[in-house]
Amino acid sequence: MRVLPFPVLLVLLVLAAPLRAAPPVAAPMAPPARLGLCAACHGSNGIATLPGVPNLAGQRLDYLRQALADYRSGRRDVAPMRAATGPLSTRELDQLAAWYASRPPCAPAAKR
C-alpha cells in the first residue's frame, strides 16, 4: 500500500472539509392531511383565493397556532373558522400552522 506524502494528504483533507461540513438538506414539508378545507379560502400555499380572506403564508408560527386555537375555542368568534377548526386536534392545528408559516409570503401589492 502506498502512503501519500503529508502535504498532499493535508491538501486533500482541506479540500474535502467543506463537503463534510455541509448541513444536510431538509426534505420539503409535506402538506398536512387536513389542508383541504383551509385551502378552499386561504389557498394551499397560503395565498387567499377569496376577497377579504387573509393570506397565511409566511405568518409567524406562534401567531398562527394561537389564532387557530382561539378560533376553535370560540375566543375569536368567526363562525366559518370555528366550524373549520372545531373538529381538528391540537396536533392537526399545529401541522396547519407549521405548513402556512413555512410557505413563502405573498409579494406586496403594487401601489397605484
Write down the architecture of domain 35-102 according to CATH: Orthogonal Bundle (1.10)
Mean pLDDT of 56-65: 97
Lowest-confidence pick of 2-6, 70-74, 80-84, 88-92: 2-6
Contact 99, 35 (CB under 8 A): yes
Mean pLDDT of 71-96: 96
Q: For residue 78, what pLDDT band results from cuts at 50, 70 and 90?
A: very high
Q: For residue 2, what pLDDT band results from cuts at 50, 70 and 90?
A: low
Average pLDDT score, the chain: 84
Between 35-42 and 90-102, two packed helices, what is the crossing angle to 10 degrees? 40
DSSP string, 9-67: HHHHHHHHHHHHHSPPPPPPPPPPTTHHHHHHHH-TTS--SSTTPPP-TT--HHHHHHH
Mean pLDDT of 100-111: 80
Tell if the pTM clears 0.75, that is, is over it: no
94 by DSSP, 3-state: which? helix
Tell me what percent of the residues of the chain surpass a pLDDT of 90: 63
